[in-house]
């Protein structure tokens, strides 16, 4: 039946009810109208379909599925077609498992290396992140399965993620934090977009008409459904006004009565609800049609895709004296517990139950092994003695190191950019015992590598998924030639990061460095980094020649040649360098990239298209400042002149951090730049709202303190451990419970009635009133 006809039959109450899920993962089925439900599950690097106990943190078991490498690794392939292939495979598995919507990909910008969820995001560069996400989306959607582009928008830290405020100027928002979403929406066409937990400039993303209607739908032409992140809905009435369609998870009936009243008293138009219902119906019927077809799903084939992705996403960071590839006939010492138990995916909602799992050790030959450390990353003198013995006995040593799970996870940010102390000691001991030492690294984001000069080779695997073991061996032995490039800057030390003095120091996120994120900062500031954005070695060499720009300045051509002796792939990167004598800008920005596969001696011509956006900045709209621009590919460059639009240079620019990137940004300069004055949130008993967390209220209310303690106890019991903040599951679950606003707890816990509002009254000191609300049920 036609969707409008169904909507005409529905009662207002049923329509409102449909706009919240049925349970943790499903929408509601309304049989009397013939409306089917559909099933959603995480994403993004595989399926996490929970069929029994559900949670948003990947703690309870899910059905087995292929665990592809996490985005940190697939992104380093710089290959949207590979992402599309992975998307297709995930789409096939979704059909096989009856999933209509995959909750991914995530395109939040890697603003700071310590963000606990960086492993789930693509890059510090929005152009690259957008293109890769579009590839993934195309792959999944072509299978008839929906995707959910997340977390819209500006959700680049885990600290206080449920109720922090991301505050920034318009230019930073548009050029850095929205561009990846824009490209992914326009080129990938996802069925849904997931709005983020934090507020953006003081407004909850779920309530934001500016974000969800003006920008997403009107500017970018998005015509799909907006779903909340799990528990992100703030004001359901404003949500409808803004175009936030589906409230997830379901079960709580959150604000449904209030919505009904708002329609009845004319504050909310029923038409707004109809529009949301229609978007939900569209997906529900699409998923239903898919369920009726037979799925053909090759999990074995997908393992091979996962292996290929891990190989192509690996980045060779160092290879002195061509230590790699290793000779398979020589004896090697394999050091580190991660060789037998590698870190292959991140913790939290994206955690997949892998179909199978290959560990590196199983694929390495003529190897003596020493643990070197335990799974927690700790070592001791006797372990180190074993390590030295093994390293001394072999022709070369390969150390497996990285970040154990407890170091990085959804729900909290990393404390440090360093590797665990045990891994550092292990690397040092091996490097001293064997001059031919290589390090294989596993982590979801950049780590400090003060030890880099002491070893000959470094191979960064990121989080390589279930086939990571085979991939490592193929790369080490040269069966596969590494071709990954970094998608984020590897800083020498955390202090070098432009946001290091501000990130993690307060609950709100003040984007003080503005547009100067990653390479945009270090290049302009002249800060030396360990490994730059876009960097990665190969077992062969490439040369560029014949760089040309067409007379109309719309296309660039270059010839790439494999000048080495083995086949390999290169990622040709095009940067546009901007005039520096007007409005402040980064020295250069990525505006094109292509991956080319070449046999030894082979050449290929590569072309890039340039549009206005390759030169534009945001100043109340996209505008091109006039001047000389430099088109750079590798070492080659061509200067071109662009006529410009009228641009005004703000008064605060001269001599400010933004002009030259000298030092670090200050709050005072940032306030001048944004025109905003930051007033930190005040916690006052009597003024708490549903947006406050148990953690925030516990020092003001004995009741909240007691609840806090009870939650600690229940979580520890549930995990079968004692209260332990070094356990990442415990830490993550605490952050996501006592760190959640009361409204999120109500929604995510499927808690009906007046319990949470009643508790709020009590926390505010009105015990009896609170009791009354609980009884009244509202
Ligand atoms: C995460 C989302 C995820 C959702 C459902 C949330 O906590 O932020 O990325 O899709 O849970 O598991």
Taking residues 544-572, what's their average pLDDT? 98
The pLDDT of residue 294 is: 72
Query: First and final CA of the chain: distance in angstroms?
Result: 37
The strand order across the sheet containing 146-152 reads 40-42, 101-103, 146-152, 192-195, 225-228
The pLDDT of residue 1 is: 66
Q: What is the pLDDT of residues 176-227, one digit of tens each?
A: 999 999 999 999 999 999 999 999 999 999 999 999 999 999 999 999 999 9
Provide the 10 A C-beta neighbour count for residue 551.
Answer: 8
- Binding site membership of 407 for ligand 1 (Cβ less than 6 Å): no
State residue 495 phi and psi, 5-degree precision.
Answer: -60, -20
Catalytic residue (one of 79, 207, 229, 508): 229
SS (H, E, C) 63-93: CCECCCCCHHHHHCCCCHHHHHHHHHHHHHH
Task: With a cut of 70, say whether residue 488 has pLDDT above it.
Answer: yes
Nearest atom in ligand 1 to 349's CA? 12
Of 85, 521, 588, nearest to 313 by C-alpha is 85
Taking residues 351-376, what's their average pLDDT? 95
User: Left, alpha or beta for 739 (phi > 0: left; psi -120 to 50: alpha)?
Assistant: alpha
State residue 522 phi and psi, 5-degree precision.
Answer: -65, -35
- For 459, the 3-state DSSP assignment is strand
E runs forming strands in 568-718: 568-577, 588-598, 603-609, 617-618, 622-623, 627-633, 636-642
Weakest mean pLDDT among 48-57, 492-501, 635-644? 48-57
The pLDDT of residue 728 is: 86
Give kind and range of the element (H or E) at residue 396.
strand 396-402
State residue 597 phi and psi, 5-degree precision.
Answer: -105, 125
- Binding site membership of 150 for ligand 1 (Cβ less than 6 Å): yes
d(CA 468, CA 352): 14
- Binding site membership of 47 for ligand 1 (Cβ less than 6 Å): no
Weakest mean pLDDT among 25-34, 284-293, 515-524, 568-577? 284-293
The pLDDT of residue 375 is: 85
Please name every residue paired with 625 in a beta bridge, in sequence order, or none if there are none.
645
- Binding site membership of 41 for ligand 1 (Cβ less than 6 Å): no
Of 627, 737, 670, 619, nearest to 174 by C-alpha is 619
d(CA 521, CA 104): 29
- The answer to whether the beta carbons of residues 649 and 655 sit under 8 Å apart is no
Cβ-based neighbours of 126, under 8 Å, separated by 6 or more = 107, 109, 175, 176, 177, 178, 179, 180, 183
d(CA 98, CA 84): 20
Task: With a cut of 70, say whether residue 624 has pLDDT above it.
Answer: yes
The pLDDT of residue 721 is: 93
Task: With a cut of 90, say whether residue 369 has pLDDT above it.
Answer: yes
Give kind and range of the element (H or E) at residue 301.
helix 299-313
Nearest atom in ligand 1 to 56's CA? 12
Q: How far is the CA of 249 from the centre of ligand 1 (A)?
A: 10
pLDDT interval class at 43 (50, 70, 90): confident
Burial class of residue 599 in the structure, from the number of CB atoms within 10 Å of its CB (0-12 exposed, 13-18 middle, 19+ buried): exposed
* Strand-strand pairing, 332-335 and 396-402: parallel
Q: Whose CA is nearest to atom 12 of ligand 1?
A: 56
What tokens does 343 get?
């870190």
Q: How far is the CA of 57 from the centre of ligand 1 (A)?
A: 7
State residue 199 phi and psi, 5-degree precision.
Answer: -80, 155
Q: What is the pLDDT of residues 427-475, one digit of tens each?
A: 999 999 999 999 999 999 999 999 999 999 999 999 999 999 999 999 9
d(CA 31, CA 550): 60
- Binding site membership of 26 for ligand 1 (Cβ less than 6 Å): no
The reply to whether 213 belongs to the active site is no
d(CA 442, CA 468): 10
d(CA 745, CA 81): 39
Of 395, 416, 560, nearest to 500 by C-alpha is 416
Cβ-based neighbours of 462, under 8 Å, separated by 6 or more = 69, 70, 72, 73, 76, 119, 313, 314, 315, 442, 443, 444
Task: With a cut of 90, say whether residue 308 has pLDDT above it.
Answer: yes
- The answer to whether the beta carbons of residues 277 and 15 sit under 8 Å apart is yes
- For 458, the 3-state DSSP assignment is strand
- Binding site membership of 735 for ligand 1 (Cβ less than 6 Å): no
- For 412, the 3-state DSSP assignment is strand
State residue 641 phi and psi, 5-degree precision.
Answer: -105, 135
SS (H, E, C) 663-674: CCCCHHHHHHHH
Average pLDDT value over all residues in the chain: 96
E runs forming strands in 671-753: none
- Binding site membership of 230 for ligand 1 (Cβ less than 6 Å): yes
Task: With a cut of 80, say whether residue 673 has pLDDT above it.
Answer: yes
- For 603, the 3-state DSSP assignment is strand
The pLDDT of residue 297 is: 86
User: Left, alpha or beta for 374 (phi > 0: left; psi -120 to 50: alpha)?
Assistant: beta
Q: How far is the CA of 625 from the centre of ligand 1 (A)?
A: 40
Of 175, 184, 152, 155, nearest to 83 by C-alpha is 184
Task: With a cut of 90, say whether residue 291 has pLDDT above it.
Answer: no
d(CA 401, CA 389): 18
Q: What is the pLDDT of residues 638-662, one digit of tens each?
A: 999 999 999 999 999 999 999 999 9
Nearest atom in ligand 1 to 150's CA? 9
d(CA 403, CA 376): 9
Q: What is the pLDDT of residues 81-91, one digit of tens each?
A: 999 999 999 99
- The answer to whether the beta carbons of residues 233 and 267 sit under 8 Å apart is no
Q: How far is the CA of 41 from the centre of ligand 1 (A)?
A: 9
The pLDDT of residue 746 is: 96
What tokens does 265 get?
């008293």
């Amino acid at each position: 039946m036609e969707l409008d006809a169904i909507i005409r039959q529905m009662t207002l109450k049923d329509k409102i009810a449909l706009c919240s899920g049925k349970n943790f993962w499903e929408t509601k089925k309304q049989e009397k109208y013939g409306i089917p439900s559909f099933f959603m599950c995480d994403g993004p690097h595989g399926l996490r379909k929970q069929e029994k106990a559900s949670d948003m943190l990947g703690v309870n078991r899910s059905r087995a599925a292929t665990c592809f490498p996490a985005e940190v690794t697939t992104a380093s392939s710089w290959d949207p077609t590979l992402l599309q292939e992975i998307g297709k495979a995930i789409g096939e598995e979704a059909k096989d498992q009856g999933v209509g919507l995959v909750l991914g990909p995530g395109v939040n910008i890697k603003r700071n290396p310590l963000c606990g969820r960086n492993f789930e995001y693509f890059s510090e560069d929005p152009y690259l992140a957008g293109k890769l996400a579009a590839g993934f989306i195309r792959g999944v959607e072509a299978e008839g399965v929906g995707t959910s582009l997340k977390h819209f928008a500006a959700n680049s830290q885990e600290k206080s993620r449920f109720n922090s405020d991301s505050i920034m100027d318009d230019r930073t928002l548009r050029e850095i934090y929205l561009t990846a979403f824009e490209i992914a929406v326009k080129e990938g066409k996802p069925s849904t977009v997931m709005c983020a937990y934090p507020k953006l400039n003081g407004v909850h993303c779920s309530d934001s008409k500016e974000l969800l209607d003006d920008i997403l739908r009107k500017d970018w032409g998005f015509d799909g459904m907006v779903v909340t992140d799990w528990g992100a809905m703030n004001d359901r009435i404003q949500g409808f006004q803004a175009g936030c369609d589906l409230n997830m998870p379901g079960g709580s009936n959150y604000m449904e009565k209030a919505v009904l009243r708002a329609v009845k008293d004319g504050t909310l138009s029923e038409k707004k609800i109809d529009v949301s219902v229609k978007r939900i119906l569209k997906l529900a019927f699409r998923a239903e049609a898919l369920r009726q077809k037979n799925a053909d799903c090759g999990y074995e084939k997908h393992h091979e895709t996962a292996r290929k992705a891990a190989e192509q996403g690996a980045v060779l960071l160092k290879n002195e004296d061509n230590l790699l590839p290793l000779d398979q006939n020589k004896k090697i010492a394999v050091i580190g517990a991660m060789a037998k138990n590698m870190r292959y995916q991140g913790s939290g909602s994206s955690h997949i139950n892998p179909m199978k799992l290959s560990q590196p050790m199983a694929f390495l030959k003529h190897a003596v092994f020493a643990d070197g450390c335990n799974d927690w990353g700790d070592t001791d003198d006797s372990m180190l003695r074993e390590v030295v013995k093994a390293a001394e006995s072999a022709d070369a040593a390969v150390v497996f190191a990285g970040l154990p799970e407890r170091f990085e996870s959804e729900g909290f940010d990393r404390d440090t950019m360093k590797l665990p102390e045990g891994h550092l000691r292990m690397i040092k001991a091996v490097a001293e015992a064997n001059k031919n030492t290589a390090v294989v690294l596993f982590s979801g984001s950049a780590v400090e590598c003060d030890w880099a000069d002491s070893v000959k080779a470094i191979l960064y695997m990121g989080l390589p998924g279930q086939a990571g073991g085979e991939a490592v061996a193929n790369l080490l032995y040269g069966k596969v030639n590494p071709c990954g490039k970094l998608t984020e800057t590897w800083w020498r030390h955390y202090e070098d990061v432009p946001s290091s003095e501000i990130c993690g120091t307060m609950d709100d996120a003040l984007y003080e460095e503005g547009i100067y994120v990653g390479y945009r900062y270090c290049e302009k500031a002249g800060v030396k980094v360990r490994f730059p954005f876009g960097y990665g070695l190969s077992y062969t060499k490439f040369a560029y020649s014949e760089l040309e720009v067409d007379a109309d300045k719309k296309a660039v051509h270059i010839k790439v040649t494999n000048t080495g002796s083995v086949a390999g792939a290169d990622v040709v990167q095009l940067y546009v360098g901007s005039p520096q004598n007007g409005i402040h800008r980064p020295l250069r920005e990525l505006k094109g990239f292509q991956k080319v596969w070449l046999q030894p001696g082979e050449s290929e011509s590569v072309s890039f298209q340039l549009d206005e956006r390759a030169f534009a900045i945001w100043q109340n709209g996209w505008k091109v400042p006039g001047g000389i621009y430099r088109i750079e590919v590798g070492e080659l460059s061509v200067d071109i002149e662009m006529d410009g639009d009228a641009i005004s240079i703000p008064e605060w620019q001269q001599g400010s951090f933004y002009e030259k990137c000298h030092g670090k940004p200050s709050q005072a300069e940032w306030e001048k730049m944004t025109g905003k004055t930051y007033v930190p949130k005040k916690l006052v008993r009597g003024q708490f709202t549903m947006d406050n967390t148990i953690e925030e209220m516990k020092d003001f209310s004995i009741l909240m303190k007691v609840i806090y303690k009870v939650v600690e106890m229940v979580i520890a019991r549930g995990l079968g451990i004692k209260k332990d903040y070094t356990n990442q599951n415990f830490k993550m679950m605490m952050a996501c419970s006592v760190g959640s606003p009361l409204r999120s707890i109500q929604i995510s816990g499927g808690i009906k009635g007046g319990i949470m509002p009643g508790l709020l009254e009590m926390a505010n000191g009105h015990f009896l009133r609170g009791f009354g609300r609980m009884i009244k049920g509202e």
